[in-house]
């Protein structure tokens, strides 16, 4: 029998003891430890061998864009312009260091997983109870558990008493799971294996004993560890687009440089001059400032997202968010408030709607839409009193609001009762508690005994089925005994269940004598049925708005949860993830993990796209869902808080961890962490991501006309034997200064109007759209004409070659300034977005103007850059040409905007 493929939950405990050669009273014999250790190894997670820090650093240079920059540095070095060479190398190093730091931080997920196993475990060996490090556990060890313990390995339970375990981090189940020891069907899903407890989950109540069946990499947590290691780390859409763009530029630049060399050879120029012209063309055509501006733009996006509750751990994730096409979100706490709330109270024949959300004890009680006074309804008072007194939890208020200390369900009952204005302290004085029967899964109820004047009364809350079986009568609205209509109650429960509500029943029993204690025998019969309270973890109102905005932006939202499918679908309808239809079956609108397991690969791919609600799914299924969506070129954002979410988060294009409820593993694996665990923050981050992508496109569409113009100037003069209007050092001056003081300021542009009313950028599309390419070519042609025009105008007016070149340099720079104002919006004019809405751009323009005045009139700069002072007439021509360039580009933009609007009509 293959030990690693056994469905332990499907075996009787006796069979397991036999398979593993142990027994519940004696445990493993010490004499067999060494032999078993050799067979099974240690209870620790394997660490994937990672690349060295040196290799990680060197990999930062393995990018086409960096190759271009290195070519530029070599070209500048060949021209013996050492300052410029080291400046370009500095840009390369800064980008490499930023990438190195970001990637080295992202390799801590498995270490965080392993840290959970470095604890002590209570085991029985040689018939003695001892404590050993969790890492030394072996299959066959007998482990004792109690409240507060972290489960040290995967155990098959053979004894438990009221054992409850929080498995949210592993399965996504938000409430503690009640455990038992009975055999379960082989196909039982992970979340429903109630006779098993799993490594790294937490015992919250009761006691139990189990036999270790899996350790280390074979545990469920170990399998997740392996999935994290094997999950693909995909290039971001930005990285893919920039890589394609860079490769294209490399070939274009090499082709043009080759053409320049051929032209020089045909003209019979000296080899030295030919080489200098080719290098000048390459230097002029390379956008040296692009990597730096990308980093600056992404960093500003990080800052803006942080102010909207989203912390970015990896810079490229900023832009990836803007390209997102599908958001897969957990339910509890992200889409919902993670605060159980009573929405309905069912008394004898009256359904009461309870307003208010969360644990805050404020809200009205309505019947048929009309507010009622609870104090005028004795039965309603009795139901709420039962929920308040038969309760071991507390509602506490702090600076952040109300929260529950104890069980979330009991917190909801406290809140609903306190909405009537009654105080717990006053009620406890009036009905002091005498005795308690705590909730036990075997009995499915909790009971408390209270004194009330000269008699005692027991209040009971529990499952509907259990309380109906022990109630003989019911109470009417006036607290009078009536026959219990079980059929009516069951129909009401079914009605609440179709809305995804969790229902608890309430009952009471009076005793005439001075009773001092209560037992299960007292609850077997004779109870009076009071009514029902139906509750749910309500949707976040802001999440409803955020999902609607996401749909407007043509982003699909899918719910992936560990909760039951009926509850998940009901919440999804309220959120707007799926359409609400009272006549449809809730369960048919979602799909479960068990159903996914039964599908073929093709059917699974169809389900990943067709369904928007996935319930009771396993970690491997979450990972498979993400991969399936990516197979169809979807850009997937995945949220998660538990260890079970980590593999899918790592596989997703953008992994999003919860800052409050999230485990260390998910935070270390994720690209982004939400500080408020709120879906609305994801939508806000997507919006900011789109703004970042827009600003990057603005920079590229602004800088490329300059590079094309400079390269074209060199090429044309080489082909036709003309005098160079620009020198290589002057080209470097233009490229370096304008990128820093002009181009970088576009990173501070505000988001375009209607940014969330358009579809995401398709992953397969080029970084530049067809209309943007046409605009770039138009700008390049206009600027090229302006440069040659200003250069020839100066020569025709009798200026020297240095003065003509100075005019050409200023024409390019001032042409860029006018283009900069036009590039501030991809669609709208400067008047719509506001001239002063980006003050950094205004400051950058003023600094650039001062620098151009310096290079034109300061003697030292004249000597270095071979420039000379100009008179007034060239300036008038340059400014006039700049206004003409701006006017033509704005006209082209308005025509394009008119055409796009006509298409939409």
- Say if residue 650's pLDDT is above 90: no
Half-sphere exposure for 730 (CA within 13 Å, toward CB): 29
- pLDDT, position 142: 94
Contact in structure between 439 and 391 (CB atoms under 8 Å) = no
- pLDDT, position 582: 52
- pLDDT, position 75: 66
Q: Residue 103: is it exposed, middle or buried by C-beta count within 10 angstroms (0-12/13-18/19+)?
A: middle
Residue 341 binned pLDDT confidence (cut-offs 50, 70, 90): very high
Higher pLDDT, 578 or 280: 578
Q: How far apart are CA 657 and CA 642, in angstroms?
A: 9
Q: How far apart are CA 177 and CA 170, in angstroms?
A: 12
Mean pLDDT of 601-613: 92
- Say if residue 668's pLDDT is above 80: no
Residue 206 binned pLDDT confidence (cut-offs 50, 70, 90): confident
Residue 214 binned pLDDT confidence (cut-offs 50, 70, 90): very high
Catalytic residues, by residue number, are 330
- Say if residue 867's pLDDT is above 90: yes
3-state SS, 481-529, equals EEECCHHHHHHHHHHHHCCCCEEEEEEEEEECCCCCCCCHHHHCCCEEE
- pLDDT, position 64: 63
- pLDDT, position 115: 47
Mean pLDDT of 282-288: 69
Residue 103 binned pLDDT confidence (cut-offs 50, 70, 90): low
- Say if residue 793's pLDDT is above 60: yes
- pLDDT, position 213: 94
Most confident of 131-135, 868-872, 891-895: 868-872
Q: How far apart are CA 247 and CA 67, in angstroms?
A: 10
Mean pLDDT of 449-455: 88
Query: In the chain, what is the straight-line distance between the N-terminal and C-terminal CA atoms, in Å?
Result: 68
- Say if residue 234's pLDDT is above 60: no
CA 807-810-811 angle, 5° bins: 85
pLDDT digit string, tens, across residues 7-39: 899 999 999 998 898 988 889 988 888 889 888
Higher pLDDT, 48 or 175: 175
Q: How far apart are CA 308 and CA 298, in angstroms?
A: 15
- pLDDT, position 602: 92
Q: Residue 687: is it exposed, middle or buried by C-beta count within 10 angstroms (0-12/13-18/19+)?
A: buried
Residue 139 binned pLDDT confidence (cut-offs 50, 70, 90): very high
- Say if residue 892's pLDDT is above 70: yes
- Say if residue 112's pLDDT is above 60: no
Mean pLDDT of 122-127: 91
Mean pLDDT of 241-245: 69
Among 344, 371, 339, 369, smallest CA distance to 357 is for 339
- pLDDT, position 117: 41
Half-sphere exposure for 416 (CA within 13 Å, toward CB): 36
Mean pLDDT of 158-183: 81
- pLDDT, position 367: 93
Q: How far apart are CA 421 and CA 403, in angstroms?
A: 18
Number of helices and strands in the chain (H, E): 32, 28
- pLDDT, position 611: 93
CA 399 remoteness from chain centre: 27
- pLDDT, position 88: 66
Q: How far apart are CA 333 and CA 641, in angstroms?
A: 10
Contact in structure between 252 and 674 (CB atoms under 8 Å) = no
Most confident of 164-168, 385-389, 673-677: 385-389
- pLDDT, position 8: 93
Higher pLDDT, 9 or 330: 9
- pLDDT, position 836: 85
3-class DSSP state of 734: helix
Mean residue pLDDT of the chain comes to 83
Residue 92 binned pLDDT confidence (cut-offs 50, 70, 90): confident
pTM of the full structure: 0.68
Contact in structure between 409 and 435 (CB atoms under 8 Å) = no
Reading the block at residue 511, the tokens are 């005793």
Reading the block at residue 650, the tokens are 């790592």
3-class DSSP state of 902: helix
Higher pLDDT, 753 or 486: 486
pLDDT digit string, tens, across residues 820-852: 999 998 888 888 888 888 999 999 999 999 999
- pLDDT, position 33: 87
Half-sphere exposure for 221 (CA within 13 Å, toward CB): 35
CA 643-665-56 angle, 5° bins: 135
Most confident of 75-89, 251-265, 308-322, 879-893: 879-893
Total Cβ atoms within 10 A of residue 513:
8
Q: How far apart are CA 77 and CA 819, in angstroms?
A: 31
Q: How far apart are CA 655 and CA 328, in angstroms?
A: 10
Higher pLDDT, 414 or 570: 414
- pLDDT, position 1: 47
Most confident of 61-70, 530-539, 689-698: 530-539
Residue 148 binned pLDDT confidence (cut-offs 50, 70, 90): confident
Mean pLDDT of 369-379: 91
Reading the block at residue 460, the tokens are 């009971």
Lowest-pLDDT choice from 192-201, 572-581, 630-639, 656-665: 656-665
CA 691-735-74 angle, 5° bins: 115
Residue 817 binned pLDDT confidence (cut-offs 50, 70, 90): very high
- pLDDT, position 819: 94
3-state SS, 505-518, equals EEEEEEECCCCCCC
- pLDDT, position 239: 62
Contact in structure between 552 and 527 (CB atoms under 8 Å) = no
Residue 102 binned pLDDT confidence (cut-offs 50, 70, 90): very low
State what percent of residues in the chain have pLDDT above 70.
86
Among 8, 203, 180, smallest CA distance to 121 is for 203
Residue 764 binned pLDDT confidence (cut-offs 50, 70, 90): low
Higher pLDDT, 858 or 650: 858
Lowest-pLDDT choice from 89-93, 526-530, 551-555, 631-635: 89-93
- pLDDT, position 870: 93
Higher pLDDT, 604 or 659: 604
Residue 172 binned pLDDT confidence (cut-offs 50, 70, 90): low
- Say if residue 97's pLDDT is above 50: yes
Higher pLDDT, 495 or 232: 495
- pLDDT, position 111: 45
């Amino acid at each position: 029998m293959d030990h690693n493929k056994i469905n332990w939950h499907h075996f009787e405990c006796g069979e397991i003891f036999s398979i593993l050669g142990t027994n519940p009273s004696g445990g493993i014999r010490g004499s067999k430890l060494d032999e078993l250790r050799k067979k099974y190894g240690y209870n620790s997670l394997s660490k994937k061998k990672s690349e060295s820090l040196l290799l990680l650093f060197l990999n930062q240079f393995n990018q086409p864009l960096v190759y271009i920059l290195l070519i530029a540095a070599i070209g500048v070095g060949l021209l013996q312009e050492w300052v410029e060479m080291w400046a370009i190398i500095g840009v390369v190093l800064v980008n490499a260091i930023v990438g190195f730091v970001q990637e080295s931080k992202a390799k801590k997920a498995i270490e965080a997983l392993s840290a959970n196993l470095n604890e002590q475990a209570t085991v029985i060996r040689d018939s003695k109870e001892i404590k050993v490090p969790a890492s030394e556990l072996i299959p066959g060890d007998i482990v004792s558990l109690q409240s507060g313990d972290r489960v040290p390995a995967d155990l098959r339970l053979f004894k438990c008493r009221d054992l409850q375990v929080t498995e949210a981090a592993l399965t996504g189940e938000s409430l503690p799971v009640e455990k038992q020891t009975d055999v379960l069907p082989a196909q039982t899903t992970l979340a429903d294996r109630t006779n098993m407890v799993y490594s790294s989950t937490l015992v919250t109540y009761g006691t139990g004993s189990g036999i270790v069946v899996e350790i280390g990499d074979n545990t469920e947590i170990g399998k997740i560890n392996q999935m994290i290691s094997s999950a693909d780390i995909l290039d971001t859409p930005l990285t893919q687009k920039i890589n394609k763009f860079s490769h294209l530029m490399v070939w274009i630049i090499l082709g043009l440089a080759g053409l320049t060399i051929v032209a020089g050879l045909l003209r019979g120029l000296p080899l030295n001059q030919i080489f200098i012209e080719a290098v000048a063309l390459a230097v002029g055509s390379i956008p040296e400032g692009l990597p730096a501006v990308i980093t600056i733009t992404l960093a500003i996006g990080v800052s803006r997202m942080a102010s909207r509750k989203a912390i970015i751990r990896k810079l490229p994730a900023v832009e990836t968010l803007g390209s997102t096409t599908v958001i897969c979100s957990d339910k509890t706490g992200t889409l919902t408030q993670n605060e159980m709330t009573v929405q309905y109270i069912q008394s004898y024949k009256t359904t009461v709607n309870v307003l208010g959300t969360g644990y805050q004890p404020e809200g009205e009680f309505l019947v048929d839409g009309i507010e009622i006074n609870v104090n005028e309804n004795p039965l309603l008072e009795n139901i709420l009193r039962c929920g308040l007194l038969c309760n071991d939890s507390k509602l506490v208020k702090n600076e952040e609001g109300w929260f529950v200390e104890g069980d979330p369900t009991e917190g909801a009952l406290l809140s609903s009762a306190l909405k009537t204005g009654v105080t717990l302290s006053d009620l406890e004085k009036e009905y002091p508690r005498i005795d308690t029967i705590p909730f036990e899964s075997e009995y499915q109820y909790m009971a408390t005994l209270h004194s009330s004047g000269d008699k005692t009364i027991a209040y009971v809350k529990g499952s509907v089925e259990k309380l109906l079986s022990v109630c003989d009568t019911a109470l009417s609205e006036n607290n009078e005994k009536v026959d219990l209509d079980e059929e009516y109650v069951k129909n009401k429960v079914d009605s609440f269940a179709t809305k995804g509500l969790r229902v608890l029943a309430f009952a009471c029993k009076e005793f005439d004598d001075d009773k001092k204690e209560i037992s299960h025998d007292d609850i077997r019969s004779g109870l009076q049925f009071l009514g029902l309270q139906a509750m749910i973890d309500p949707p976040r109102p802001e999440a409803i708005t955020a999902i609607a905005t996401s749909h407007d932006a043509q982003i699909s939202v899918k719910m992936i949860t560990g909760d039951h499918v009926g509850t998940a679908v009901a919440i999804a309808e309220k959120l707007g993830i799926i359409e609400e239809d009272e006549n449809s079956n809730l369960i048919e609108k979602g799909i479960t993990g068990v159903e996914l397991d039964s599908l073929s690969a093709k059917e699974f791919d169809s389900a990943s796209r067709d369904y928007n609600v996935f319930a009771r799914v396993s970690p491997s299924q979450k990972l498979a869902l993400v991969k399936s969506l990516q197979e169809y070129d979807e850009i997937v954002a995945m949220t998660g808080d538990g260890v079970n979410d980590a593999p899918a988060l790592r596989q997703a294009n953008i992994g999003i961890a919860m800052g409050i409820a999230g485990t260390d593993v998910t935070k270390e694996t994720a690209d982004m962490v939400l500080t408020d665990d709120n879906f609305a923050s994801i939508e806000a981050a997507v919006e900011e991501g789109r703004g970042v992508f827009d600003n990057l496109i603005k920079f590229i569409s602004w800088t490329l006309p300059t590079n094309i113009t400079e390269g074209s100037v060199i090429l044309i003069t080489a082909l036709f034997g003309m005098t160079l209007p620009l020198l290589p050092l002057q080209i470097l001056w233009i490229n370096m200064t304008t990128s820093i003081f002009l181009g970088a300021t576009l990173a501070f542009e505000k988001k375009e109007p209607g940014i969330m009313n358009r579809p995401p950028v398709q992953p397969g599309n080029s970084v530049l759209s067809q209309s943007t390419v046409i605009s770039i070519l138009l700008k390049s042609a206009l600027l090229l004409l302006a440069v040659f025009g200003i250069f020839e105008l100066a020569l025709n007016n009798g200026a020297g070659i240095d003065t003509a070149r100075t005019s050409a340099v200023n024409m390019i720079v001032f042409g860029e300034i006018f283009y900069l104002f036009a590039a501030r919006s991809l669609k709208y004019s400067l008047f719509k977005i506001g001239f002063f809405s980006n003050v950094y751009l205004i400051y950058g323009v003023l600094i650039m103007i001062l620098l151009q005045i310096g290079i034109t009139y300061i003697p030292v700069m004249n000597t270095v850059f071979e420039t000379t002072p100009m008179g007034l007439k060239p300036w008038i021509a340059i400014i006039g040409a700049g206004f003409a360039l701006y006017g033509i580009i704005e006209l082209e933009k308005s025509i394009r905007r008119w055409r796009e609007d006509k298409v939409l009509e």
